[in-house]
């Protein structure tokens, strides 16, 4: 089955530690995205990538880093510089093209930092 996988589902870290969230897709999509969701709020874009070895900052990139070494993979690192990292993180992917805006989401990773 084609889809997007995120692991782990739940992640716990101590304050001051970096943590990397995994995102893999087998949809052959060119573009991949990371969003952050806080309770009662919409999705805010952290980073996105349209092609391997290239990525752009979204609206809330501070304290996060990404890499895109393979088309299928787009890991997100939450660094110790992120002041409020506890949140639900969603990865998405899409094809590229003027009329192909449809983004498909993974199941999410809930990160708790104490």
Quick check: 108 binds another protein (CB under 8 A)?
yes
Find out whether 21 and 112 touch, Cβ atoms under 8 Å: no
Q: Which is nearer to another protein, 33 or 82 (CB)?
A: 33
Torsion of CA 104, 32, 94, 52, to 10 degrees: -150
Do you find a cis peptide bond into 8, omega within 30 degrees of 0?
yes
Considering only 47, 94, 111, 113, the residue that binds another protein (CB under 8 A) is 94
Structure tokens belonging to residue 61: 């990139």
What is the C-alpha separation between 84 and 103, in angstroms, rounded?
26
Contact between 81 and 61 (Cβ < 8 Å): no
Give, as one character, the DSSP assignment of residue 73: B
Q: Is the dihedral of CA 27, 32, 38, 43 positive or negative?
A: negative
Applying CB under 8 A, which part among 14-22, 61-69, 76-84, 89-97 lies near another protein? 89-97
Q: Which stretch binds another protein (CB under 8 A): 13-21, 45-53, 63-71, 74-82?
A: 45-53
Candidate ranges 13-21, 41-49, 65-73, 74-82; the one touching another protein (CB under 8 A)? 41-49
Query: Which listed residue (59, 83, 84, 114) binds another protein by CB under 8 A?
Result: 59
Say whether residue 50 binds another protein (CB under 8 A): yes
Residues forming contacts to another protein in the complex (CB under 8 A) are 4, 6, 30-31, 40-43, 45, 48, 50, 56, 58-59, 88, 90, 92, 94-108, 110
């Amino acid at each position: 089955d084609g889809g997007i996988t995120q692991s782990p589902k739940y992640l716990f870290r101590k304050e001051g530690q970096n943590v990397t969230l995994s995102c893999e897709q087998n949809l052959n999509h060119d573009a991949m995205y990371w969003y952050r969701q806080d309770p009662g709020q919409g999705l805010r874009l952290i980073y996105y990538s349209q092609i391997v070895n290239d990525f752009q900052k979204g609206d809330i990139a501070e304290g996060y880093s990404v890499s895109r070494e393979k088309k299928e993979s787009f890991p997100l690192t939450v660094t110790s510089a992120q002041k409020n990292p506890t949140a639900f993180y969603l990865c998405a992917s899409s094809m590229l093209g003027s009329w192909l805006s449809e983004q498909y989401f993974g199941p999410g990773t809930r990160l708790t930092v104490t």
